[in-house]
Amino acid sequence: MTLSEVSSWLREHDDYLIITHRRPDGDTLGSAAALVRGLRAYGKNAYIFKNEETTSKYLGFVSPFWAPDGFDFSHVVSVDVASEGLFPRNSDNLLGRTDLAIDHHPSNTGYARLTYADGSKAACGEIIYDLLIDLNGDIDDDTAAALYTAISTDTGCFAFGNTTQNTFRCAALVAEKNIGLPELNRILFRTKSRGRLELEGTVMAGIKYYYGGRVAITTIPKALMDRTGCTEDDMDDIAAIPGAVEGVWCGITMRELSSETDLKISVRSGSLFNSNEFCSKFGGGGHAMASGASFQGITLDTLLGMLLEELDKVFLPHGYSR
């Protein structure tokens, strides 16, 4: 689909339910809030499926638009969701029912009946901005704030390698609105809890290096989260820590989630290592420089062994031993 075809499709239909991804970040939530606002501005009926994992940092953007019980939706639209496996845990009734997926992940599996995916965009929020301009000609201040949140968080405040000239143009256009930019940036990027700082210190001290320092791996056990009092609100950009070390091509963060056998990896890399290809080996995916995967029924030690076996295939042929 082209963007104008997406806009036309949205004009032709009504009663939308917008769905975000599991462990939602600023991009999926900001994009969903902006899309609902834009659809309502056009006169459509739209709500967001209640994602129970939404953290307090982003709750204000989406909670006013949670779908009420019994909402009789006609069409499901996903934003920033690469596969149905990333749907919220409480959304089994929506599997196989997505009419339109709006996404920027190259790894999108094509699960929706219609898909608009632009992998050149750093954030799904960039796509939503263009779509709403096409749909309504303008956006209001609250919509702009949601879009800025989407774009800025998915680019690490414009520091990640996915940031493009278009990202800056789009951010500048939404920042022209009255979005309270200084305070918004403070909340999103300059405020950390005491627990987060304590956790960061432990994560940094626990980094292990492999393949001549080309790979850095750290772990975040659930016990560490419990000890520091950290919540998902404290986890934004935590995966960037091991990849920030000089000389590291690939940084991997392994986390225990609800239990010792409910695990997640986040992979961050530069241009010399493809994170998306690596995570796809484990049923995950994302972007070339930022991807992830989930695992059930194994421990961190087992997971580390699995990761190293796959990394061996990449680094050993080039003379880098563990």
DSSP reduced 3-state for 283: coil
Asked if pLDDT for residue 111 goes beyond 90, the answer is: yes
> 11: how many CB neighbours lie within 10 A of its CB?
13
What are the pLDDT digits (tens) for 246-269?
A: 999 999 999 999 999 999 999 999
Q: How confident is the model at residue 220 (pLDDT cuts 50, 70, 90)?
A: very high
Confidence (pLDDT) at 246: 96
**Closest of 312, 272, 305 to residue 322, by C-alpha:** 312
What are the pLDDT digits (tens) for 138-190?
A: 999 999 999 999 999 999 999 888 999 999 999 999 999 999 999 999 999 99
**Dist CA 286 CA 267 (whole Å):** 10
The DSSP element (H or E) to which 79 belongs, if any, is: strand 75-79
Confidence (pLDDT) at 285: 87
**Domain limits of the chain?**
3-189, 195-318
Residue 137's Cβ-side half-sphere holds a number of Cα atoms within 13 Å equal to 1
Q: How confident is the model at residue 115 (pLDDT cuts 50, 70, 90)?
A: very high
CATH no. of 195-318: 3.10.310.30
Q: Do the Cβ atoms of 151 and 123 come closer than 8 Å?
A: yes
In which order are the strands placed within the sheet that holds 114-117?
A: 46-48, 16-19, 75-79, 98-103, 114-117
Confidence (pLDDT) at 256: 97
Burial class (CB in 10 A: 0-12, 13-18, 19+), 223: exposed
What are the pLDDT digits (tens) for 43-76?
A: 999 999 999 999 999 999 999 999 999 999 999 9
Cross-strand bridge partners of residue 116? 102
* For residues 112-134, average pLDDT: 97
CA-to-CA dists, residue 67 to 15, 64, 201, 229, angstroms: 11, 9, 40, 31
What are the pLDDT digits (tens) for 16-40?
A: 999 999 999 999 999 999 999 999 9
| pTM, two decimal places | 0.88
Q: Which two tokens mark 145?
A: 């704030």
* For residues 127-131, average pLDDT: 98
**Dist CA 109 CA 245 (whole Å):** 32
**Dist CA 66 CA 53 (whole Å):** 13
* For residues 198-207, average pLDDT: 97
- What is the C-alpha R_g of the chain? 20
- What share of the chain has pLDDT > 70, as a percent? 100
Q: How confident is the model at residue 313 (pLDDT cuts 50, 70, 90)?
A: very high
3-189: which CATH number, 2.60.40.2890, 3.40.30.10, 3.90.1640.10, 3.20.20.480? Answer: 3.90.1640.10
Question: For the chain, what is the mean pLDDT?
Answer: 96
Confidence (pLDDT) at 287: 86
Type of residue found at 282: F
Confidence (pLDDT) at 232: 87
* For residues 73-99, average pLDDT: 95
Q: Which two tokens mark 253?
A: 């963060």
